[in-house]
Structure formats: C-alpha cells, structure tokens
Structure 1
Amino acid sequence: MDPQGVSIKWVSDAKERGVLADRDFAEGNVIFEEQPMVCDQYLYNKDFFPTCEYCLACLESPADMVKRLAGLPEPPHLWGAEAVPVLKNVPCEHICGELYCSTSCRDKAWAQYHSLLCLGPHPRDDHPLLEIRQEWKSFHFPPESATIGLLVKMLAMIAVTRDEALFDHFKADYRNETLHIVAKFMDEQFSDRLTKFLRLFRDLFAPHGLHVSQELFDKLLTIVSLNGQGIGTSSFEAYERILRNLSAAAEEKAGSPEALAVTEALDQVDALREAIEEHSDDFTHAEGTGLYRAHAMINHACVPNAEIQFVRNNATLRVVATRDIAKGAEVTISYMHFDGCESDGEEDEDEEESDHEHDHHGHDHHHDHDEHLVDVDRRREMLREYYLFECTCDQCLADSGAGKAALATAPGSRTVAGSSSSSSSAAGSSSSAARR
C-alpha cells in the first residue's frame, strides 16, 4: 500500500531510505496505517489463542478471553463489551483446522499461500510442514520472539507467484556475518538447525516446483530477522481501549450515570488485568510477526517522534506521532525499548532481550523514550547486536559528547523532531543499512 501523508525517499548514503512527512503532524496524530504483506502467529501462542490465520484478529469475545486467561469459572459481565465486534469463526473448507475471521480472509489466504500449505483433515505424521513446526518448537520456547511459520508463508507466496524477488523490497545484506542475528532465536546447534530447516523446506516445496536454494533461504531469513514487526492482538484490550475513550468523553459529564458506569468498568478492567497477569504469565495476547512494506523503511532513533500501535484487534499496524513532526522531517521509531535496562551484569541479558521482543510486539502502550534511557554505550551495543548498525541519532551523539562536532561535520545534518528539515535531514534518526 502507499500510505497517505508520508513518502519513502532516499535520506543519505549512510541511512539509505527513510519515511518523510509530507505534511505537519501533531502529537497523537495517526501518521499512517498499514496491512502486513504477510504475517504469522507464534507457534506456542497459537496453541492458546484462537486467531484469524490470515490477519491475526482475536476470535474470542472479551468475556471469554478474560475467563480463560484469569482462570475464572464463568465469563464475567463486562459493561459495554457489546461495542467490541463479534468475529466469525470461519474454518478452512478443507478441514485442516485453520480458522479465519471472514470468508474474505479465508479466500485471500488460500490464494496467496494456504493452497500449498493446507494439511487437510488427516496429514501424515512425517509431513515436512509438521516436522518444521515440531523442530522449531523443540528449542524456541516462550516468551516467543519469532516464528518459522512466517518464512514458510513467504516461500509459499514465492512458489504461487513464481517470483523469487517478491520480497526484495525489504533490502537485506545476507552475507554470513548478518546471519548471527538469526542465531539469537536459536541455540548452540544453530548451524545444524539451519541445515535441517533448509532440507525440510526443500522437501516441502519441491512438489510445488520451487527449489529453495541456499541463497534464497539466507536472504529470506535475514529479511525476517531485520524487518519482522511483532504483533499483539487482544479483544479484552480492544474493550479496555473503548472504555478509556468513553471515559475521556465523559469527563465533561462527571457524576452522570454513564460516567460512573465507565469508572466502575475501568476499575473492573484493572482488577481483571492483574488476575490475568498472575494466572497466564507469558500468554496475555495473541502474538505473531509480520512484514510491512512502509513500516520497514522507518529508521531508528533512541528518542523517536513516532511509535507503533495495534488498535484494531488484528494485524493492522498504526504509526502514531509521539511529538509534533514538521513537514519534511523524518518519521522515526525506536527499534528497542531501552528505558529500564541495566547497563551491565549477566542477569540483565534476559531482560534486554525481553525489551527487544516487547518493542517488536508493539502493544498499545505509550512509552516516554527520553526518560530513564540506558547508557549510550549500552544502547549502541544492543543495536549493533540486533540490527547491525552504529547508532548516530541526535540523542546518542549528545550523550556521547560528540553531538555538536558530529552534526557540524556530518553530511545531511540531522534536526530535532518537529523542526524544519534540510535537504536529507532526519528527525534525529539512524538506521541499519542492512535493513534497507
């Protein structure tokens, strides 16, 4: 899709492409929305959350979701929950067990990839697709941060279209040194597992006329690793969002029956959220990963001017301004959540990886990225590790004491978010060249 209000343009030789504002955006404005080119639910998460296989829409009602996640004997009465659309459970016509929110999603999935991947009612135990899923689940445990299913769908789409360049929009350097990113999602048997996956992919797609070469395999792995955006959906969170919007609208009617009802409902939501967190631990949202054409072009800044939200209870991605953005300025997001990370110590490794995963999930929560930022050296180390670039955003330059000198000498000087930009100026951003 071509988002309105922004353009994808060349920013600089160092940063390559970026997303620039074609008009002014005020804080809180929706900059653009985008559907994924392809998305897939995490495999363990799929065991717990019924979602639309195509768009990841949560198929449970808010009350049914709360009952299950909080371990309640009965679904609670949720005031105003009827405002959350009730989605259908449309099964695959070939009885493979996949569900969809509509016949439209079912038909799109079949046309794009599912016709090659449908297992039918009685798949054989040694089916390559089942082996791929079992192998992935044997070492990639919750909390999940990636899914092999996305790569499966991408290869199926290539087989359907006969176009190995289908995902070349997501430019990626897939030389051997970049593949260490993929190892973050595997284990000490990284090399052996890649070899096994390649064999299984070849077994899966050979009957459909696609030879999965080492080059194609490496390229798609790197595209997913560098460009995949985590997705989180929840009908209960959609219900909470409706209540909070009603609460804001009811502020002028303080003391009215509606205002009191909304307040009581929000108190109930807070209590239920605590119960869910205590009972469900890793599984509080339906989660997966998707590839978004425009989103993949947004560069990083440690103090960005935009953030990712999922507010439609499906994989529709929304980019929202977190501060004023002037026409011509670059739109930036933070690839990781640095606030609250410690700068050293072995115990912090899991927390740092969790921050990386949570940022990719992009749930509908606002983050003040400029408060409590981890040390600049640690930020740069984490970005090098996960995204293969040295961050030179305005915040990193300022924190390293090199801000003025770097801005004076760097080609295409960067500007603060919301200010007028010069030629190829950026809103305090930097990017991974490998990602472009």
Structure 2
Amino acid sequence: MAASMCDVFSFCVGVAGGARGAVEVRFVSSAKLIRKGETIFIERPLVASQFLWNALYRYRACDHCLRALEKAEENAQRLTGKPGQVLPYPELCTVRKDLHQHCPHCQVMYCSAECRLAAAEQYHRILCPGPSQDDPQHPLNKLQEAWRSVHYPPETASIMLMARMVATVKQAKDKDHWVRLFSQFCSKTANEEEEIVHKLLGDKFKGQLELLRRLFTEALYEETLSQWFTPDGFRSLFALVGTNGQGIGTSSLSQWVHACDALELKPQDREKLDTFIDQLYKDIEAATGEFLNCEGSGLFVLQSC
C-alpha cells in the first residue's frame, strides 16, 4: 500500500549510530550503477515560487511549476540582446505555446491547463490579486516590493514561497495535513535562525524582518497559523525556507542545447553546430552575465533538508 504524504519520509529515513544519541539521516540507495548525468528521480515540490527579481527582469516562467515559457529562440534573442538571433533546428524546442493558459482574473501565465488548475486548487484562489495585479497598494504587491528592496540578486529565496505556504493552508480543507507536512522540515535554534536571516537580509536584518512580518501579516494572516505571524514564529518560518528551500532553474535554451547534443550529425555539421553554440553562450555572457535561467526555489519532501 502506498504511503501517505505524511509517511513519505519512511522511504528514505535511516538512523545512524546506536540508540543513545541516535541521529536521523535521510538517504537514497541505488541497486544499480548511476551514470553521470542520469536522472535519479523526479519529485514535484510541495510549493514553489519564482524569485521576484528574476520575474521582474522578464524571465518568463510558469507561475506554478516554473517551466520556461519562452521559445528557445526567443530566450536566445533576449539573453543576447539580439532581436534577429536565429537558432538552427528550431523543431528541437520543447516549449508548447499553444498549451499556455493564464489566470482569467490576474493574467499570470501557466505552461498548461494542468498547472493553472493545480495552482487554483492549492493556493492561487487566496493569492490571486485579480484586477489589482499592478496596483502598488495591494497588500501582496507591497510585500513583494519590500522584499525586493532588501534581497537583491543573486537571489536565494523568495517571500512568496512563504506566502504560498500560508495560502496553501488557508485554502485547504484539511489544514492540519498541510501544517504537519510543513512542520516536518528541519528547524534551527534561535541563534542559527538569526544567522540565516542575517545572510538573507544583511546587517539591518532585524528591522527589515519586522517590516516584512508586518506586511506579511496584513496580507495573509491565518488563525490556524497564528504562531507563524509572531516575531519568533516568523523568524522560524523565514529560517525554515532559507534552510530547506531548494533552488529551481529552467531554461528552454538549455533544453534546446541538450537536444542538439543528442543529434546524429556528420562531423563537419557537428563542428559547425558546436561552434555556433559556443559563440552563442559567449554573446549571452557578454550581454547578460551569469543570469541565464528562470530561477526560483521550492520545498520538496525528499530533496529538502
């Protein structure tokens, strides 16, 4: 019988050491040789969110799963700053724009009807700003602007990941189920939490954390999670996301390059294609630097700490 979500750790939790001072560790074992580059397993996050500066700078991603929404050629044009950039083998691009859908109320984009419905069923009904999507006075927009003002690229977390955690609980029929799931992630001591917050927000983190807590409370307060909105609880939630959030990166251009690598070509055609791709990445580095992907973070039952 399949384990419930709350029991999913039973697949990968072991105990190191004897009974005295036993330490729980999570691991995955394999019965076969794993080759370099081979996919070990695929896991959907409990909740995920694109980084706010990444989204602001037009890295277009599905608002639910973060799959890239740009065609590979569009991606290359934007990253190189060359509107006329053309890619060979355009048929290798996996982006299906005909499947894209938007929220009919706030217009955020999804890669598919499945993602739009999944978001609506889990958290988006709570977070959807409707026609106030671009209103700077909307509580969620004020929260996001405050976050961008204290957490600059390169980004490592997003306040909206925390918002989606709260919205998931607010919207759920079985709120205790989600509270139990989120409570299973690693926690830290008060001193460790402060260190994590310091790394995310900088030297003035205490005042910034309180501002974020106030805006977070105004936008999202939920009685079931009242502890998360206290100063200590909010710091703990912040540290939980900072500790357990796993980076997510997607790129239609990268997928196109991998598909090109798999092509069976004549030696001269392979050399020509490889030279083209090498130059393309040099052009991207000159124009954009290291920021190539749609980026965000998520909480995973198996992969997170």
TM bucket by the smaller chain? 0.7 to 0.9
Query: C-alpha separation between the residues in 2 aligned to 1:265 and 1:174?
Result: 53
User: How much does 1:229 deviate?
Assistant: 1.1
1:198 aligns to 2:213 (yes or no): yes
Which residue identity lines up with residue 61 of structure 1 in the other structure?
K
Which residue identity lines up with residue 155 of structure 1 in the other structure?
V
Contact 1:243 1:262 in 2 (8 A): no
User: How much does 1:84 deviate?
Assistant: 2.2
Tell me the alpha carbon deviations over residues 47-90 of structure 1, each in whole angstroms, 9 at most, x when there is no partner: 221110000000011111111110113131x2223122223331
Q: Which residue number in structure 2 is paired with residue 288 of structure 1?
A: 296
Query: C-alpha separation between the residues in 2 aligned to 1:14 and 1:188?
Result: 37
Q: Which residue number in structure 2 is paired with residue 229 of structure 1?
A: 246
- The answer to which structure has the higher helix fraction is 2
SS, match of residue 232 in structure 1: strand
Which residue identity lines up with residue 271 of structure 1 in the other structure?
Q
* TM-score (structure 2 length as normaliser): 0.85
Which residue identity lines up with residue 211 of structure 2 in the other structure?
K
Query: C-alpha separation between the residues in 2 aligned to 1:197 and 1:185?
Result: 13
SS, match of residue 275 in structure 2: helix
Tell me the alpha carbon deviations over residues 251-302 of structure 1, each in whole angstroms, 9 at most, x when there is no partner: xxxxx64x54343222211101110011012431111111111112xxxxxx
**Cα 1:35–1:83, aligned 2, differ >3 Å: closer, same or farther?**
same
User: How much does 1:209 deviate?
Assistant: 7.1
Query: C-alpha separation between the residues in 2 aligned to 1:65 and 1:129?
Result: 29
Which of the pair has more CA radius of gyration?
A: 1
Q: Which residue number in structure 1 is paired with residue 121 of structure 2?
A: 111
Contact 1:229 1:289 in 2 (8 A): yes
1:63 aligns to 2:73 (yes or no): yes
Tell me the alpha carbon deviations over residues 387-409 of structure 1, each in whole angstroms, 9 at most, x when there is no partner: xxxxxxxxxxxxxxxxxxxxxxx
**Cα 1:97–1:14, aligned 2, differ >3 Å: closer, same or farther?**
farther
Contact 1:7 1:22 in 2 (8 A): no
Q: Which residue number in structure 2 is paired with residue 424 of structure 1?
A: none
Query: C-alpha separation between the residues in 2 aligned to 1:105 and 1:173?
Result: 33
1:181 aligns to 2:186 (yes or no): no
Contact 1:230 1:290 in 2 (8 A): yes
Alignment of 1:5-20 (within 5 A): 7-12=12-17, 13=21, 15-20=23-28
Query: C-alpha separation between the residues in 1 aligned to 2:168 and 2:194?
Result: 23
Which residue identity lines up with residue 213 of structure 2 in the other structure?
L
User: How much does 1:45 deviate?
Assistant: 0.6
Uncovered stretches (5+) of structure 2, i.e. residues with no partner: none
Query: C-alpha separation between the residues in 1 aligned to 2:24 and 2:206?
Result: 31
Q: Which residue number in structure 2 is paired with residue 278 of structure 1?
A: 286
- Let me know the Cα RMSD of the aligned residues: 2.4
Tell me the alpha carbon deviations over residues 99-153 of structure 1, each in whole angstroms, 9 at most, x when there is no partner: 1000110111111111111111235432221111111111211222221111111
User: How much does 1:201 deviate?
Assistant: 1.6
Which residue identity lines up with residue 230 of structure 1 in the other structure?
G
Query: C-alpha separation between the residues in 2 aligned to 1:262 and 1:121?
Result: 50
Structure 1 stretch displaced more, 79-88 or 271-280: 79-88
Query: C-alpha separation between the residues in 2 aligned to 1:113 and 1:11?
Result: 37
Uncovered stretches (5+) of structure 1, i.e. residues with no partner: 251-255, 297-434
1:138 aligns to 2:149 (yes or no): yes
Q: Which residue number in structure 2 is paired with residue 84 of structure 1?
A: 93
